[in-house]
Structure 1
Amino acid sequence: MVKPILLIKGKGGLGNRILSAVCGLAFADLTGRTPIIDWRDGSYAPVGTNAYPLLFQTPITQKCETYDAITTSVTPAIWAGNLGLTPQEMIEKFAPRSHSNPVAYRKFCVDLGRLDAPENVAVFWSYLPKFKRISRHLRHDHNFATRSEKDIIAGYLAQFFTPNLRILQQVDAAAATFTTPSIGVHIRYTDRKIPLGPIKAALRQKLAQMPDATIFLATDNAHVQTQIASEFPNVQHIEKYLPKDASRLHWPISDIEKVHEAENALTDMWLLSRCDHLIYSRHSTFSVTASYLGNMTLAQLHDVDRYSPLVIAKRQIQAYA
Structure 2
Amino acid sequence: MTQYIVVKGTSGIGNRVFAVATGILYAQLSGRQLVVDWRDGSYSNTGTNLFLRYFDCPIAESVEVLPETDSIYPAIWKNQLHRSMGSLRDELGLTGYSDMSFDVSQLDSQEDILVLSAYTHKINLMRPLLAQETSRLATMTIREILKSILKDNLFVKEDIKSQVDEFKRENFENYMVGVHIRYSDMKVPLTEIEFAVRSITRLTRFQHGNFKIFLATDSQEVLHSFKDKFPNVISTDKWFSQSGKRLHQNPEECQNLVQNGIEALVDLYLLAACDNLIFASRSSFGFLSSLLMTQPNARYYDIDEEHSLVRRIKHKLINTAKNLNINP
Give TM class, smaller chain: 0.7 to 0.9
Aligned to 1:121: 113
**Secondary structure of the residue that 1:302 maps to in structure 2?**
strand
Deviation of 1:198 (Å):
0.9
Cα deviation for residue 203 of structure 1 reads: 0.6
1:56/1:299 Cα in 2 relative to 1: closer, same or farther (>3 Å)?
closer
Inter-partner Cα distance in structure 2 for 1:298 and 1:61: 32
Q: Deviations over 1:120-164 (max 9, x none)?
A: 111111111111111111122133335443343223323442111
Percent of aligned positions with the same letter in both sequences?
Answer: 32
Question: What is the aligned partner in structure 2 of residue 86 from structure 1?
Answer: 84
Instruction: Give the aligned partner of residue 278 of structure 1.
Output: 277
Distance 2:99 2:296 in 1: 36
CA spacing shift, 1:296–1:281, aligned 2, 3 Å: farther
CA contact (8 A) 2:219 2:244 kept: yes
2:155 pairs with 1:156: no
Separation (CA, whole Å) in 1 of partners of 2:297 and 2:307: 17
Question: Does residue 131 in structure 1 map to residue 132 in structure 2?
Answer: no
Q: Distance in 1 between matches of 2:196 and 2:129?
A: 39
Matches of 1:199 and 1:62 in 2, distance apart?
39
In the other structure, the counterpart of 1:37 is 36
Amino acid at match of 1:165: E
In 2, are the aligned partners of 1:154 and 1:295 still within 8 Å (CA)?
Answer: no
Q: 1:77 to 1:252 in 2, by over 3 A?
A: farther
Aligned residue number for residue 319 of structure 1: none
TM-score after normalising by structure 2: 0.86
1:165-208 CA distance string (max 9 Å, x none): 22111111222232232100000011111111111111111121
Structure 1 unaligned spans of 5+: 99-103, 310-321
Highest RCO, 1 vs 2 (Cα 8 Å, sep ≥ 6): 1
Taking the aligned partners of 1:51 and 1:308, their CA distance within structure 2 comes to 37
What is the CA–CA distance in structure 1 between the aligned matches of 2:284 and 2:298, rounded to whole Å?
19
Letter of the 1:133 partner, please give it: L
Instruction: Write the distance in 2 (CA, Å) between the matches of 1:271 and 1:170.
Output: 10
Instruction: Give the Å deviation of 1:24.
Output: 1.5
Within 5 A, what are the aligned runs for 1:187-226? 187-211=181-205, 212-226=210-224
Q: TM-score, normalised by structure 1?
A: 0.87
Q: CA deviation at 1:85?
A: 0.7
Find the residue that maps to 2:301 and give its secondary structure.
Answer: strand
Aligned to 2:303: 304
Aligned alpha-carbon RMSD (Å): 2.1
How many angstroms apart in 1 are the aligned matches of 2:234 and 2:257? 23
State the 1:113 CA deviation.
3.0
Instruction: Name the SS for the 2:5 alignment partner.
Output: strand
What is the identity, as a one-letter code, of the residue corresponding to 1:180? N
Q: Shift of residue 298 of structure 1?
A: 10
The 1:36–1:74 alpha-carbon spacing in structure 2 relative to 1, beyond 3 Å, is: same
Give the conservation status (yes or no) of the 8 Å contact 2:273–2:294.
no
**Which letter maps to 1:167?**
I
Is the 1:47–1:252 contact (alpha carbons within 8 Å) kept by the matching residues of 2?
no
Q: Give, as a single letter, the amino acid of the residue that structure 2 aligns with 1:171.
A: V
Q: Distance in 1 between matches of 2:100 and 2:296?
A: 35
Matched residues in 1 for 2:106 and 2:151: separation?
27
Q: Give the alignment partner of residue 176 of structure 2, picking from 157, 179, 182.
A: 182
Match of 1:167 among 155, 160, 176: 160
Residue equivalent to 2:265? 266
Q: How much does 1:237 deviate?
A: 0.5
Displacement, 1:286? 0.2
Is 1:240–1:264's contact at 8 Å kept on the other side of the alignment? Answer: yes
- 1:41 and 1:252 in contact (8 A); partners too: no
Give distance in 1, aligned partners of 2:129 and 2:27: 12
Distance 1:304 1:147, change over 3 A: closer
Match of 1:233 among 231, 236, 242: 231
For 2:302 and 2:146, how far apart are their aligned partners in 1? 20
What secondary structure sits across from 1:145 in the alignment? helix
Q: Deviations over 1:80-102 (max 9, x none)?
A: 11111111012112234x1xxxx
Amino acid at match of 1:210: T
Structure-2 change in CA distance of 1:9 and 1:298 (3 Å): farther
Residues 9 and 125 of structure 1 are in contact (CA less than 8 Å); yes or no, is this contact kept in structure 2?
yes
Alignment partner for residue 140 of structure 1, among 132, 140, 146? 132
- What amino acid is aligned across from residue 170 of structure 1 in structure 2? Q
**Using a 3 Å threshold, how does the CA distance of structure 1 residues 158 and 307 change in structure 2: closer, same or farther?**
closer
